[in-house]
Structure 1
Amino acid sequence: MKLFVLLVSFTHTLPLLAMSVSFQGSPQSRRGLPIPIHKRGTLNAHGSVSPHFLQTNIQQSVDKFRDGFSAYERNTGERHPLDWLPEPDLQEKRDMGSIPLAPADQQLWYGSISVGTPAKKFLVDFDTGSSDLFLPGPRCEETCSGHAAYDPSESYSASNTGRTFFLKFGDGSTATVEGYTDVVSIAGLSAKGQVVGVASEYSTGFSISKFTPDGLLGLGFQSVSKYNATPFFINLISQGIVSNPVFGVRLANEGSELFLGGTNGELYQGDFTYTPVTKEGYWQVTLDGIMLDGREVVSVTQAIIDTGSTLILGPAEVVEAIYGRIPGAIPSLDPNGIKSGLYTVPCNFDMTIALQFGKRAFPITPSIFNLGPVHGQPNRCYGGMASQSKIARFWILGDTFLQNVYTAFDFGRKSVGFASLVEPS
């Protein structure tokens, strides 16, 4: 199997404009490795999409970034420029934070890791919208039944950091999280001294029947770490385990992959368009526009690239204006008759929505934008773009966009690259 990877320099910097760079023919990193990842489906037993699933995903995304902004302020002493809501109750002097994990019916991109010596395997959600590793601990019994528990006492490479964190779940329940360091490995790539949060309790919404992974592994920057600890992939870089400070992501119904130490050239074609990270913390970049059938409907704005979100999320008035240009689109109402932020479109929706980075537009395939039918309404489907009232300064680009591109996350250049996918044979 012939692979292509990105060769980068830690000292190289990009100009402030997005650029196209060809990496065709670059040699494979000898330590770059593909890791298969999987997802749970979005359709329920009736073959329709649950609006509860979509609304919960939106709220989880908002909560995640709110808490990350709080962590950023604690870690750096500065308020993140995209932060929209101060949280006085999260500004206590003790170490605390919230690591939102997906509730029932969540769509996740998860894969296998191992922790400890001897190594024990766990399933984790790989999330570019956070920066920490979190697992259930041995004292988490009833609410963690069915999940693999990480027991530091069974690993002779584990060490207690002496730090305690506060975990808040979306349903209001809480748990204490103890910090440990240990060896963490993915596909044979091992980071020593990796901080692992060990929880004493899970929310009941995380039963094994509703939440497949055991925990979460964040792939963002340290400044949004609730532990203020070096994230896993950055540890791989600093310890010389990977020769390229890049990881690639391909999300799809089949053949999804996380590639550590480069990119997998068999999954994309042509050049990458790279755009700089505008504020370290999240994979935050400049989105140069959103187009509908070739006409611009959103101008330059900020966006966060997030594998942990299902939808494309944006400001309410802007999302409403976009759907206003789609024939037959109507807002979805919650059980109280209030606009939920979701929209439905005719299931034969065939307009082209494209996101622009630099001078290059990346279209969203209509069949991917169409999330699936509304229960009892086979001709109406949920659209893959939604709004949330608390998001006013930026967009969150989740699965609805990322399934249309191959994405490279480059810590060396502090930038994100997008390339076209290889056409299926």
Structure 2
Amino acid sequence: MKWLVVLGLVALSECLVRVPLIKVKSMRENLQENGMLKEYLEKYPYSPAKFLSKNQNKKVTYESLRNYLDLVYVGLITIGTPPQTFKVIFDTAAADFWVPSVFCNISFCYKHRRFNPQSSSTFRLPPGPLRPVELNYGSGKIMGILANDTVKIGDLEDINQAFVLSNQEDGAFRFFAEFDGLLGLAYPGQDGGTPVFDNLWEQGLISENLFAFYLTSGGMRGSMLMLGGVDHSYYSGELRWVPVAKRRYWQVVLDSITVNGTIIACHDGCQAILDTGSSVVNGPNKDVLNIHNIIHAQHSFNDKYVIDCNTTTHLPDIVFVIGGINYPVPARSYIRKLRSIGEQGRLGGLEEFSSKTWILGEIFLRLYFSVYDRANNRVGLAPAI
């Protein structure tokens, strides 16, 4: 028998605002179950981060975003008056905010909830000519216009929030994405727009300039986004703080990666992004291949790796060292069952890509409660309960 391997949080004060999150099937899982993953990967080679060239049309606002194959946690928000409800990804690796509009007439847009500006009394367009926006993903483009309206997250009402109203989505595979749009929680982008979280703080709607995530490892419910404070009952021990290395994403310095006490990657230190918008852990090609070799995984279909299931209970922890603290990821986290393989395989979440920056997604963040402190430009981590 073979197992498939892929090494692929939050607290608040008395004014804590909790936003429940639900884990849904990722686009990767849906494509796999429908026998379309190979076609997708051939058309859109995997790219968690796509950086655009400098030669761009200056009349269009461009933002670089990564592949959304593995986005899995969604929460409900409303936009407009009366409110229109959307399932969105709360994404720490993006600053953008977009939802589909009724002006998107491509067939797969009809699968998702679409915003109708004519039904909202608080909808506004920015002054001046229409401002087109192009969001570039590894799997296509989302094009639309910039608009403003009232956004509600939990009990918080964000007045006159800017967002992108998509009118064209390039990539029929988005039919398999179980979310409507994306709400970014990264630092403000280069276009000068104010992200949702910044507006919540500037409008005095939250008591502390931070937010946190608690991502459950079992069941469909229980995961939580917390805004404006920290609920200490969601983690054990104490929060360990590390400074943000680059104020664009929630990027920190990764000291090293070890297995059985031996450094096997990131020997001289490297960078890592905490990414609530990804289910996997991504690392440089050479380093991930080295880890696969250490655990004796063998290359299989769709660039995945398999391992004899009889050895899985003996697999070592993969330890990420951040700020001098060890954060072990055990085999039970980086090996998961893949439904389409049935009893003969498992799918995990360590994947290769060309960047030197590691991306720590759900596999890591389900184990560690995470706090994102904008006031002090730091990230806090503690074992999740």
Asked if Structure 1 and Structure 2 have the same fold, meaning a TM-score greater than 0.5 normalized by the shorter chain, the answer is yes
Separation in 2, partners of 1:366, 1:290: 15
Aligned with 2:284 (options 315, 328, 336): 315
Q: TM-score, normalised by structure 1?
A: 0.76
Q: Higher relative contact order by CA 8 Å / sep ≥ 6: 1 or 2?
A: 2
Which segments of 5 or more consecutive residues in structure 2 lack a partner in the other structure? Answer: 1-9
**CA pair 264-48 structure 1, distance change in 2 beyond 3 A:** farther
Q: Does 1:331 align with 2:299?
A: yes
Contact 2:281 2:361 in 1 (8 A): yes
Q: Which deviates more, 352-361 or 140-149?
A: 140-149
**CA pair 290-317 structure 1, distance change in 2 beyond 3 A:** same
Counterpart in the other structure of 1:369: 334
Counterpart in the other structure of 2:7: none
Separation in 1, partners of 2:82, 2:377: 35
Separation in 2, partners of 1:194, 1:309: 25
Within-5 A mapping of 1:225-304? 227-252=191-216, 253-254=218-219, 255-298=222-265, 299=267, 300-304=269-273
Separation in 2, partners of 1:413, 1:44: 39
Q: Does 1:179 align with 2:146?
A: yes
For 1:97-126, what per-residue CA distance to the aligned partner results, in whole angstroms no more than 9, with x for missing partners?
3575876x7442101001112222111111
Separation in 2, partners of 1:261, 1:381: 38
Q: Does 1:213 align with 2:213?
A: no
* One-letter code aligned to 1:214: D
For 1:37-90, what per-residue CA distance to the aligned partner results, in whole angstroms no more than 9, with x for missing partners?
11223656998999659969x95652xx324xx4xxxxxxxxxxxxxxxx245x
Counterpart in the other structure of 2:6: none
Contact 1:158 1:183 in 2 (8 A): yes
Q: Shift of residue 211 of structure 1?
A: 2.0
Counterpart in the other structure of 1:412: 375
Within-5 A mapping of 1:15-414? 28-30=13-15, 32-41=16-25, 52=38, 62=48, 65-67=49-51, 70=52, 87-89=53-55, 91-97=56-62, 106-141=70-105, 142-161=107-126, 162-168=130-136, 170-172=138-140, 174=141, 176-202=143-169, 203-207=171-175, 210-223=176-189, 227-252=191-216, 253-254=218-219, 255-298=222-265, 299=267, 300-326=269-295, 328-334=296-302, 340=303, 342-347=304-309, 348-349=311-312, 350-373=315-338, 378-388=343-353, 390-391=354-355, 393-414=356-377
Contact 1:53 1:106 in 2 (8 A): no
Separation in 2, partners of 1:99, 1:117: 31
Paired residue secondary structure (1:310): coil
For 1:110-163, what per-residue CA distance to the aligned partner results, in whole angstroms no more than 9, with x for missing partners?
010011122221111111110111011121233311322112232222211231
* One-letter code aligned to 2:166: A
| Percent identity (aligned) | 28
Q: Shift of residue 223 of structure 1?
A: 2.7
**CA pair 413-249 structure 1, distance change in 2 beyond 3 A:** same
Q: Shift of residue 263 of structure 1?
A: 2.3
Contact 2:50 2:65 in 1 (8 A): no
**CA pair 41-412 structure 1, distance change in 2 beyond 3 A:** same
For 1:276-307, what per-residue CA distance to the aligned partner results, in whole angstroms no more than 9, with x for missing partners?
11110100100112121232222311011111
**CA pair 188-60 structure 1, distance change in 2 beyond 3 A:** farther
* One-letter code aligned to 1:41: K
Contact 1:49 1:374 in 2 (8 A): no
For 1:330-351, what per-residue CA distance to the aligned partner results, in whole angstroms no more than 9, with x for missing partners?
23354xxxxx3x4333334231
Q: Shift of residue 375 of structure 1?
A: 5.4
Separation in 1, partners of 2:237, 2:133: 45
Separation in 2, partners of 1:194, 1:107: 24
Paired residue secondary structure (1:266): helix
For 1:344-397, what per-residue CA distance to the aligned partner results, in whole angstroms no more than 9, with x for missing partners?
333342311121112211111321110225955845534421211x21x21111
Which segments of 5 or more consecutive residues in structure 1 lack a partner in the other structure? Answer: 7-27, 71-86, 335-339
* One-letter code aligned to 1:306: D
* One-letter code aligned to 2:148: T
**CA pair 131-59 structure 1, distance change in 2 beyond 3 A:** farther
Paired residue secondary structure (1:213): coil
For 1:182-226, what per-residue CA distance to the aligned partner results, in whole angstroms no more than 9, with x for missing partners?
11110011222211100113342223xx222211111101135xx
Q: TM-score, normalised by structure 2?
A: 0.84
How many residues matched?
A: 360
Report the RMSD for the aligned CA atoms in angstroms. 3.0
Contact 1:116 1:184 in 2 (8 A): yes
Contact 1:165 1:177 in 2 (8 A): yes
**CA pair 168-44 structure 1, distance change in 2 beyond 3 A:** closer
